Amino acid sequence: MKKWERTHQHIIARTAPLFNQRGFSGTSLQNIMEATGLQKGGIYSHFENKEQLAEAAFEYAAQLMEERLGEFLARAPRTAIDQLQAVVEAFATVAFDPPVAGGCIMLNTAVESDDAYPMFKRKTRYAMDAWVALIRKIVRRGVERQELSPQTDADEVATLLISTLEGALMLSKLYDDSRHMERATAYLRSFIQTLANK
């Protein structure tokens, strides 16, 4: 890797936690310079503006979460029940060991962007769409293989898993108490078992 590429990646990796913890509006150029050890010119020789850097930092953080999810899925048996459990277990780790400091990049960015930053809202929806699509695929394949009940609705399962996990993560962070995530994952483990084709 060339020096320019190393510096480029260094900037992204060092600023991803800043944007995830402070948000886009709460992260100043001074914060970025302190985190990277670079001056304004050094940063802006790699990125046109703060928006472009924040976008790259979001993509980096989302990629780390995707890699973690992939690791959990690769270790789990290929049945739909086990794969859904792996999704839950992978996400549960974000409560106490986030890939990027600050928690779930999608939750944080979705809350901050809402109507204020349409570009970040689109980015977040795109990343969330991939997660929803993964759960739908697991469920539909499980129904086809008769591992899951034929009445199992892929969209309902995706909504329930994601909203429960994101809500539990928010409560865990708000109260600095991982028991919220522990309760949610225990419930989801039981729920997933009810989907099995009897």
CA nearest to 116, candidates 16, 21, 24: 24
Q: Residue range 170-179: average pLDDT?
A: 92
CA distance 10 to 81: 39
Instruction: Spell out a b/e string for 40-75, using b for 16 or more CB atoms within 10 Å of the CB, else e.
Output: eeebeebbeebeebbbbbbbbbbebbbebbeebbee
pLDDT at 115: 72
Q: How many CB atoms lie within 10 A of CB 103?
A: 19
Residue 65 maps to a domain: yes
> What are the backbone dihedrals phi and psi of residue 85, each rounded to the nearest 5 degrees, phi first?
-60, -40
Residue 12 maps to a domain: no
pLDDT in tens, 142-160: 999 999 999 999 999 999 9
pLDDT in tens, 79-109: 999 999 999 999 999 888 999 998 888 888 8
Residue 21 maps to a domain: no
Q: For the chain, how many structural domains are there in total?
A: 1
Task: Evaluate the CA torsion angle 128, 130, 133, 139 in order and state its sign.
Answer: negative
**CATH number of the domain within which 148 lies:** 1.10.357.10
Residue 33 maps to a domain: no
Residue 39 maps to a domain: no
Per-residue pLDDT band at 77 (split at 50, 70, 90): very high
Asked whether the beta carbons of 183 and 168 are under 8 A apart, the reply is yes
Q: Which domain holds residue 183?
A: 58-194
pLDDT in tens, 12-67: 999 999 999 999 989 999 999 999 999 999 999 999 999 999 999 999 999 999 99
DSSP 8-state assignment for residue 196: B
Residue 2 maps to a domain: no
pLDDT at 142: 97
Q: Which two tokens stand for residue 52?
A: 């472009």
Residue 46 maps to a domain: no
Residue 131 maps to a domain: yes
